[in-house]
Amino acid sequence: MDEIQLQLTADGSHTLMNTRLDESYHAHNGALSEAMHVYVEAGFDAVAKLLCHPVRDDGEYRSDCLSIELGRPINILEFGFGSGLNAILTLERAVETKRAVRYIGLEAQPLPQKITSQLNYQQFLDPEIEGLLAKLHSSPWEHWTQITPRFDVLKIASRLEDVVVSSNANYGQFSTKEMPIDSIDLIYFDAFAPNRQPEVWSVANYQKCFDLLRAGGLLVTYCANGQFKRDLKTIGYQVEVYPGALGRREMTRAWKPS
């Protein structure tokens, strides 16, 4: 892993630079700020809101979340687990909002502990959460781990290209890299840029994500490439151009029709 270098970004949080690809894991303008905007605010918050409905309580109606009331977690798939930044920020938001989450992170090149232990994300987290970053990184690959009573994580060392979408799979079968069709509420598509890893930004991968999403599910990514958005529309996504992070004009949200 000599090709991975630690770097500070403009908001004080770390990113990692892959020197072989000459590409960073996060925005140099602010790793944490970008992740919060693209994945937590534009992604997690949007999906959590859709799962919230008025619930009668003591004669009054209040807003509450069906994932709490009915016990169903929000199922999240991240393509490009990387530094774990998106995962720990999602965990923090889930604890804050009392959402139950099952989080699946795909990563083709898992980072060694000697790198993840140097990341400074804990200093930006709520004190209740900061100690969980190490637990997230030390959790075993290919096995579900309970990080909190309402947040389970499964890290899979795999490319998205190698995942099989199956009508027979269930949440106990991820060791075979089979994933259930229509099972995911939210996808974080956080691969390296299309000009660095063009093989990842393929119609086959977009179709696989579409098949994994539940009706009404959402894919979010920092990318706003024109061909990417046209391909999504061809598959059947409802593509929404959304304001980007840190001065970027656009990012992409793509919904699977209900």
6-26 residue pLDDT tens: 999 999 999 999 999 899 999
CA neighbor of 253 nearest in space, from 226, 225, 230, 222 = 222
Per the document, the length of the chain is 258
Per the confidence metrics, is the pTM higher than 0.85? yes
H helix or E strand, kind and range, residue 94: helix 85-97
The pLDDT assigned to 56 comes to 46
The pLDDT assigned to 247 comes to 78
Contacts of 58 by beta carbon, 8 Å cutoff, 6+ apart:
none
Query: Which tokens go with 69?
Result: 């009331």
- For residue 137, how many C-alpha atoms fall within 13 Å in the half-sphere facing its CB? 21
The pLDDT assigned to 175 comes to 56
Render each residue's pLDDT in the chain as its tens digit; 258 residues: 678 999 999 999 999 999 998 999 999 999 999 999 999 999 999 999 888 754 444 444 344 554 444 457 999 999 999 999 999 999 999 999 989 999 999 999 999 999 999 999 999 999 989 889 999 999 999 999 999 999 999 999 999 999 999 887 776 555 567 899 999 999 999 999 999 999 999 999 999 999 999 999 999 999 999 999 999 999 999 999 899 998 788 999 999 999
Whole-angstrom distance, CA of residue 154 vs CA of residue 140: 8
H helix or E strand, kind and range, residue 225: none
DSSP per position, 143-155:
SEEEEETTEEEEE
Q: Which domains does the chain have, with CATH numbers?
A: 30-255 (3.40.50.150)
The pLDDT assigned to 172 comes to 58
The pLDDT assigned to 60 comes to 45
Phi-psi domain of 117 (left: phi exceeds 0; alpha: psi -120 through 50; beta: other): alpha
CA neighbor of 76 nearest in space, from 183, 162, 150, 169 = 183
Residues facing 242 on adjacent strands: 251
Burial class (CB in 10 A: 0-12, 13-18, 19+), 68: middle
CA neighbor of 211 nearest in space, from 200, 220, 203, 223 = 203
* Phi, psi angles (nearest 5°) of residue 53: -140, 155
